[in-house]
Amino acid sequence: MPLLIHSLILAQFALGQAAGLSIQDEVGDHAELSHKAGKHGRTIEVPVYNRLDKQHLEIELTVGTPPQKFSIMPDTGSPFAWVPSASSPACTPNCPLPVWNPNASSTALDIHVIFNASYGLTPDNIMLGEFYNDTIGVGGVALPQHPVALVNVIDTIYDAQTWGIVGLGSQLQNRDVNGPVILWENLYRLGYISKRLFSVWLNSQDAKEGTILFGGIDESKAQGELKSTPLTSIIPTPAGDDFTAWSVSLTSLFRRDGQNGGDEPLINTSYNAILDTGSPNMYVPQDLYDTLAAPLNVTLRTYRNTSYVPCSLRSSPDSLHFGFAGKDGAEGPHVCVPYSEIIYPFGMPANLGEVHSEDGTELCYLGVLSNNGSGIFLLGNSFIRSAYVVYDADDLELQIAQSRWE
């Protein structure tokens, strides 16, 4: 769900910067350090925990002084970091811990910028809050005066068991103004990492954890050669070209019959697809969803527009194969996603419970859903688990290879 689709925050940050609230001003003394540190190839590796029961990923970070600990979602589909407020309408007065109390932090600074953002495929999931600058701790390092919002969580986000997000997207998501500094960008500016990139390795569906490596690439986590695919959301800025989203061109998709052989093409045009760690599933156009679902005996449930298939398909040898545009005439990446990674285990996600057909057959959640005409094409974690993905802001590309699971 947590693709950011609308925000009033970025323009407000521009106003805040004009009023002297620039993040660059807060960390300006570290600018030279970041360039010097870049020569040493510094990286920071952070465990990312697979919460399949909740349909999302989690990393651990701290906010404030003394540090308040949170386990929140790393989201390449949005730029903002936020943590929940005890006054969230979805749960007050009995909101679960942890909730953030900026008054308990000696380093929290109210910068008077309102958080107003909508998540998901429709503009209905609007959440409000307020931004602060405070010390963020991640991977054993501290980022002083990093922007973090105290947010009033609404029912749909709370029901999705999302209790905080750290955005790993683009500062330019609204295309026209600079937004709050992103975590990976701030790690670079402060000299903790030497490159403006990070690598995501989620491991297999049944694994407890994977990693996010900020500033580097671990080729041992990839099968075969990492191949580049250019970002498609490039815009010019005074400092040169930049990007608005981690979107790339999906040029081929076919289903491979693992038992009898043969490939069935599923698309005849290319799509701009966002590789979004904040989305548990793939969200595709309705016609493509219908083609994918046709041989799977799908049962649709009106609750959250979910799709279920017979659990026996988890052991099918069939797979989906995704091909992406190459860069500068080179061959692009190719990723194979087996059915066992697309279809959830029986009873997962836990908040939806066990599902059976009318004849008692066990049904399993399908990690491919229709985008309901939103025009958004997302390759979420049901795809990303099968890939090793390098999100590269310096070269405006993704580098992708088949994942090597452990």
Catalytic pick among 25, 29, 53, 75: 75
Give yes or no: residues 187 and 234 share one domain: no
Give yes or no: residues 225 and 353 share one domain: yes
Look up the CATH number of the domain holding residue 124: 2.40.70.10
Report pLDDT for 122. 61
Report pLDDT for 363. 96
| pLDDT above 60 for 312 | yes
Domain end call among 159, 194, 229: 194
How far is Cα 106 from Cα 339, in angstroms, rounded to an integer?
50
| pLDDT above 50 for 391 | yes
This prediction's pTM: 0.90
- Indicate the average pLDDT of the chain: 88
| pLDDT above 90 for 24 | no
Report pLDDT for 2. 56
| pLDDT above 90 for 342 | yes
| pLDDT above 50 for 35 | no
Q: Tens digits of per-residue pLDDT, 121-157?
A: 666 778 899 999 999 999 999 999 999 999 999 888 8
Annotation says 75 is catalytic: yes
Give yes or no: residues 163 and 126 share one domain: yes
Q: What is the mean pLDDT of residues 204-221?
A: 98
Whole-Å CA distances, 52 to 57, 123, 209, 388: 8, 26, 11, 19
- Where in the sequence is the domain holding 77, given as residue range(s)? 4-194
Q: Do residues 127 and 153 lie in contact, with contact meaning Cβ atoms separated by under 8 Å?
A: yes
Q: What is the mean pLDDT of residues 311-323?
A: 97
- Model confidence band, residue 179 (pLDDT cutoffs 50, 70, 90): low
Determine, yes or no, domain membership for 130.
yes
Highest averaged pLDDT of the listed ranges 40-54, 75-89, 331-345, 359-373: 331-345
Report pLDDT for 305. 76
Kindly give, in sequence order, each residue whose CB lies less than 8 Å from that of residue 162, ignoring residues fewer than 6 positions away.
Answer: 1, 2, 56, 73, 153
Determine, yes or no, domain membership for 48.
yes
DSSP per position, 117-151: EEESSSTT-EEEEEEEEEEEEETTEEEEEEEEEEE
Give yes or no: residues 306 and 160 share one domain: no
Report pLDDT for 120. 72
Percentage with pLDDT > 90 across the chain: 72
Determine, yes or no, domain membership for 210.
no
DSSP per position, 268-320: SS-EEEEE-TT-SSEEE-HHHHHHHHGGGT-EEETGGGEEEEEGGGGG---EE
Catalytic pick among 134, 242, 276, 318: 276
Query: What is the tally of structural domains in the chain?
Result: 2
Q: Do residues 138 and 67 lie in contact, with contact meaning Cβ atoms separated by under 8 Å?
A: no
Report pLDDT for 19. 35
Tokens of 336: 């194979």
| pLDDT above 60 for 31 | no
Annotation says 29 is catalytic: no
Domain end call among 179, 194, 209: 194
